A and B are shown apart, each in its own frame.
Chain A
Amino acid sequence: MDFSDTPQEAEFRAEAQAFLAANAKLRPENSHAYRSRAFNDEDVQHSKAWQATKAKAGFAGFHWPKKYGGREGSQMQAIIFAQEEEKYSVPPGIFNQGVGMALPTIMSCGTPAQAERYARPALFGEEVWCQLFSEPAAGSDLAGLRTKAERQGDEWVINGQKVWTSNAHFSQFAMLVARSNPDVPKHQGLTFFILDMATPGVEVRRIKQISGTSNFCEVFLTDVRIPDANRLGAVGDGWKVAMTMLANERFTVAQAEGPDFDDILPLVKQVLLDGKAAIEDSAVREKLAVWYCQAQGLKYTRLRMQTALSRGKTPGPEASIGKLVSASKLQEIAAFGIDLLGQSGAVMDGELAPYNAWFQHALLYAPGKRIAGGTDEVLRNIIAERVLKMPPELRVDKGMAFNQIPTGLR
């Protein structure tokens, strides 16, 4: 066992460090970076500029082909760069959907003309992508989506509603899955499209979340016309294309953000319980020890996966562990940070509550972390079925034509 970089990795890390030092500012120590507001136009401009700077210097699209501006490097390089970038104050990443998910999918399932058209603008931060998958009636059961796609000559006409779309309000393009045939079983009747968000009939509304902020949108699609040239993959192959894309997602959202053990530790050293630092209290110690063990366990599980990656293996469904454990840990730590303050736990004034009311904010974003990118329950099913090889869930809609499936509405 050896935590040091291989000579090639060390060389790349040094390159990344030199690039970052020349182009960004170090993040101050102990800065609790969280954002209680949604991205605004200025954030988006900064993010685009930073993405362009990285892409021009060869620090984006690490495993993309060179002909599209990529590096033809390794997944390890992407990891090393992310580790180094984390030490700097840089604009928020809004390109994961495009660079990390849409374009790799277009490159593997689309035509060369499509890849040619969309790759560079995404990589260089000119075009932002979002994902039009979930619907009000299709979340974990994504294949039950109802947005209709009807062929009319060389075009498709789309009608329906999508939801939980991050970044839709400033995205230029979307990956869209819609139902092109309701008369066949649900997985077989889907088709995948590239949608220009400026097309007439696309209406984006912000969703107000339980925290009061709006990070997500709902997208209404009314008689939206998409040229057949913007179809990705064959008619009826939408599920296959979507799965290709989601395979990339679970690894990218592998870890929920803080507060984590390192954030609660300073608080329990400051807060007094019965006249003594909370850290002296054995009930507090017990909780802290559990979170430390979880945080360390996740850290080293990640390193084990990186080892597999650096040896050219693909991370499997084991990657689900990171999100499953970290999302609940975050929620518990947030709740505990509030409990610790007793009568003032519910104070959300940033001047009065520790760390600019981070724990209170976290309490309100934590529930979303347990849902987005696969709910706790779906992740447990994935681990049970794909890692432990337990039987799949009974599906009463199996083999049934989509329009015959009970919905509770008809």
Chain B
Amino acid sequence: MNFEFSDDVTTMREEVHRFLTEQLPAGVVRQRIDAGARFDEDLWSKIAEMGWLGAAIPEEFGGVELGYEALCMIAEELGRALPSVPFASSIYLAGQAIVLFGSQAQKTGYLPRLADGSLIGTFALAEGAGDPKPNAVHARVTAGRLTGTKMPVFDGMVADFAVVAAQAEAGEPGLFIVDLTAHGVTRRAIESLDLGRAAAEIQFDGATAELLPLAQDWHAVTALLDRAAILFAFEQVGGAQAALAMALNYAQNRYAFGRPLAALQALKHKLADIYVLTELARSNAYFGAWALDSNAPELASAAAAARLSANEAFYQAAKENIQIHGGMGFTWESDCHLFYRRAKQMAGNLGSARYWRNRLIDRLLTQNENIKAA
């Protein structure tokens, strides 16, 4: 029985943690946002140099193939540090789509450049409000040309290409690679709740679209979402942990009525509850990491449980972090809002909690039926 990260990953975590702490001292994430940067390009190139982008990309395609456990750990540390980089869009979504569903040529063409950071990818699924459903996809590819509008596409302004969900000529929506710098693509920046993950609306008007050969049906979309949900869950657990630490630090150092806020039982119980939510979310994320790494049959239910628990833990931690900071937490400079904003961005990005709860229950019911039939 070993339900912990491997020693290698644990050692690497120290490095990752130290690096991010050095690169992003308190306030820096916000200052770079304030400076109007599209994203933190300096950090992005350093992250690429460290090899993190290629953690789950096979060596033959330019990755370092550290495995999913390592990628989960990196996700958790990034969630804690909250940098403005398109890591989730480019690596968990676009990169994984190509790893899972791409042809040899597509892998050779894209993965090495995703791994070295010279190319940024994103995932274009949503077409306005609602959850990921095949009948909500109206974008269409006809004779290799994509038409339709995707909104929001996170990191859509900085990405070089997108993996786009669109209806093929027959059947269910599949996944296509589209060069966002090519003819037939118009994008405009739209305001996003998450300041570190700028969104775009992208209009496709006959843009060249190249099918990912193993992603010809909706199955591919849900498989991608499941895997991304686990990586998202690690970011959310990292975010929850950081928001909890921040609240705790403030409560320990701010005095009222002659003692630290942290001495008040109302605050002790509140933070104890957030600690419990975070630990349950972490445990579910761990199981997700195991399922991801071993491609287990439980992957779908593990992903849903990881995502739902992590959503809740991150949101509660971020929300109560503002509350515990009092008026100070309501100011721009407190940075509390960065967690609060990201918690909500991440909770919606892969589909709402309602959508994931339904998927979880559906999945458990079929798992049960399968067990009965066997």
A324 CA to B277 CA, complexed, in Å: 11
How many residue pairs link A and B with beta carbons under 8 A? The number is 137
**Is the beta-carbon distance between A292 and B364 smaller than 8 angstroms?**
yes
**Is the beta-carbon distance between B2 and A1 smaller than 8 angstroms?**
yes
Among A2-10, A57-65, A362-370, the stretch in contact with B:
A2-10
**Is the beta-carbon distance between B280 and A381 smaller than 8 angstroms?**
no
Q: How far is the CB of B78 from chain A (nearest CB, A)?
A: 20
A152 CA to B368 CA, complexed, in Å: 67
Residue of A with least CB distance to B265: A393
A371 within 8 A of B: no
Q: How far is the CB of A82 from chain B (nearest CB, A)?
A: 14
A394 and B263 in contact (CB under 8 A), knowing A1-B289, A293-B284, A300-B283?
Answer: yes
B262 within 8 A of A: yes
A6 contacts across to B, CB distance below 8 A: 1
- Contact string against B for A residues 375-388, beta-carbon threshold 8 Å, 1 for contact and 0 otherwise: 00101110111011
A282 and B354 in contact (CB under 8 A), knowing A292-B360, A297-B281?
Answer: yes
Chain A stretch 202-258: residues in CB contact (< 8 A) with chain B = none
Q: Which of A265, A297, A308, A324 contacts B309 (CB 8 A)?
A: A297
- Contact string against B for A residues 272-298, beta-carbon threshold 8 Å, 1 for contact and 0 otherwise: 000000010010011011101110111
**Is the beta-carbon distance between B305 and A292 smaller than 8 angstroms?**
yes
A303 within 8 A of B: yes
A89 within 8 A of B: no
Q: Which of A2, A279, A381 contacts B361 (CB 8 A)?
A: A279
**Is the beta-carbon distance between B268 and A300 smaller than 8 angstroms?**
no
Q: How far is the CB of B165 from chain A (nearest CB, A)?
A: 25
**Is the beta-carbon distance between A318 and B305 smaller than 8 angstroms?**
no
A286 CA to B267 CA, complexed, in Å: 28
A293 and B4 in contact (CB under 8 A), knowing A384-B271, A390-B271?
Answer: no
**Is the beta-carbon distance between B280 and A303 smaller than 8 angstroms?**
no
- Contact string against A for B residues 277-308, beta-carbon threshold 8 Å, 1 for contact and 0 otherwise: 00111011011011001000000000011001
A384 CA to B267 CA, complexed, in Å: 9
B276 within 8 A of A: yes
B358 within 8 A of A: yes
Q: Is the interface of A mostly helix, strand, loop or mixed?
A: helix
B275 within 8 A of A: yes
- Contact string against B for A residues 294-337, beta-carbon threshold 8 Å, 1 for contact and 0 otherwise: 10111111011011101000000010010011000000000000
Chain B stretch 107-162: residues in CB contact (< 8 A) with chain A = none
**Is the beta-carbon distance between A289 and B252 smaller than 8 angstroms?**
no
A130 CA to B272 CA, complexed, in Å: 31
A408 contacts across to B, CB distance below 8 A: none
B3 contacts across to A, CB distance below 8 A: 1, 3, 300, 303-304, 306-307
A301 contacts across to B, CB distance below 8 A: 279-280, 283
A303 and B275 in contact (CB under 8 A), knowing A297-B280, A297-B283, A393-B265?
Answer: no
**Is the beta-carbon distance between A307 and B354 smaller than 8 angstroms?**
no
A391 contacts across to B, CB distance below 8 A: 259-260, 262-263
A267 within 8 A of B: no
**Is the beta-carbon distance between B279 and A318 smaller than 8 angstroms?**
yes
**Is the beta-carbon distance between B4 and A304 smaller than 8 angstroms?**
yes
B46 within 8 A of A: no
A73 CA to B74 CA, complexed, in Å: 37
Residue of B with least CB distance to A302: B283
A109 contacts across to B, CB distance below 8 A: none
Residue of B with least CB distance to A80: B1
B279 contacts across to A, CB distance below 8 A: 297, 301, 318, 321
The 6 lowest CB-CB distance pairs between A and B, nearest first, are: A297-B280, A384-B268, A300-B283, A289-B357, A383-B272, A391-B263
Q: List 23 A-B contacts (CB under 8 A).
A: A2-B1, A3-B1, A265-B368, A289-B304, A289-B308, A292-B305, A292-B360, A292-B364, A293-B308, A304-B4, A304-B283, A306-B3, A308-B4, A310-B1, A377-B269, A381-B268, A381-B269, A381-B272, A383-B275, A388-B248, A390-B251, A390-B252, A393-B265
Task: Mark A residues whose CB is within 8 Å of B.
Answer: 1-6, 9, 76, 265, 269, 279, 282, 285-286, 288-290, 292-294, 296-301, 303-304, 306-308, 310, 318, 321, 324-325, 377, 379-381, 383-385, 387-388, 390-394
